[in-house]
Amino acid sequence: MQAISRRLGHRSPISSFKSIYPLSDHLYGADHPRYGSTLATRGVGHLIRKGTGGRSSVSGIVATVFGATGFLGRYVVQQLAKMGSQVLVPFRGSDDDPRHLKLMGDLGQIVPMKYNPRDENSIKAVMAKANVVINLIGRDYETRNYSFEELNHAMAGQLAMISKEHGGIMRFIQVSCLGASASSPSRLLRAKAAGEEAVLREMPEATVMKPAVMIGTEDRILNRWAHFTKKYSFLPLIGDGSTKIQPVYVVDIAAAIIAALKDDGTSMGKVYELGGPEIFTVHELAELMYDVIREWPRYVKVPFPIAKAFATPREILLNKVPFPLPNPKMFNLDEINSLTMDTVVSENALTFSDLGIVPHKLKGYPVEFLISYRKGGPQFGSTISERVSPDSFP
């Protein structure tokens, strides 16, 4: 103890502690030594790593993943945790919302943090220790509390601004939507385009990912169709089902985000359009769904004007009634508007190949989760041709 006291110059333990870990009443500041950036300004290749690269290793990445409790979020968190990263998970709902994510990493690597997305100090607190920020916030319908513009535009710009002020954020990845454009008939896609512009204005070195409609176990397209089909024995096709889309496996999108983090900075400041290897019409994708769940295809074609008439009352009443309205399922006005145009990857856009990834084809493993909708169990279904022989029973 005397030797330690001599080295510290007989200073008190508290003053010595403050010299090593400066304390501040503020959450962070770019000019504060506690949060000043000592990391490489490009890529994450120069971070100190320990271990062999598994969950119990240290990748050097401390990532704040906004929107981690959503569909894509669980796959991104899993990929980050798998390489030994620490993941800060901001959430605003119940404490149970991020519970499933904690199992994906080693002890203490997944850190849920409650926050208020409308409170700037709350956002700063969940980003204070991070060196990577990934924004997955988004929703395909409006609620009484959050509009498309606030959720997809204003919040994205705010996160980019705070990241810029932070001073230690090496990488910022903004996840948008394929087809996002200021001229889109969809308010969601217009808001996403405005969000991209706001992010790149604050942080020109940010990476923007624009995934097509994502397919996976928790998706909001094939699950919705299969559930509706099992309940009502038919599927409404908006328009005539000829709109072209380029659905992509959600695991491939998570892999693209991780690939961008692992590069030497070549993806910084670039926009990637991420669509699957095949282009489907809405009708063809519905046929794939029917084939997997083994039901006879039955469609009711709903012209766009009639579909919009079904969906419009909710939009009109949303902020006029003193109670929350049900979330739209099959007839979402903004989704109907987006289906009036094809949504495919542009000809000269940066894609999966530029990140060194080969995306999965949908037919096969990516849609096997639909087996749970088969009538009679996984081995059966309404269209199955095999019959159980009486001789097979004991």
Residues 235-268 have pLDDT tens digits of 999 998 999 999 999 999 999 999 999 998 999 9
**Quick one: pLDDT at residue 48?**
56
What would the pLDDT profile of 149-189 be if each residue is shown by its tens digit?
Answer: 999 999 999 999 999 999 899 999 999 999 999 999 999 99
Coil, strand, or helix at residue 56?
Answer: coil
d(CA 30, CA 296): 61
- Write down the architecture of domain 137-373 according to CATH: 3-Layer(aba) Sandwich (3.40)
| pTM of the shown model | 0.85
DSSP state of 71: H
**Residue 343 corresponds to which amino acid?**
T
For residue 50, list its beta bridge partners.
58
What would the pLDDT profile of 111-149 be if each residue is shown by its tens digit?
Answer: 999 999 999 999 999 999 999 999 999 989 999 899 999
Q: What is the mean pLDDT of residues 55-75?
A: 93
For residue 210, list its beta bridge partners.
273
DSSP state of 326: P
**Quick one: pLDDT at residue 339?**
95
Query: Which band of pLDDT confidence, cut at 50, 70 and 90, is reported for residue 225?
Result: very high
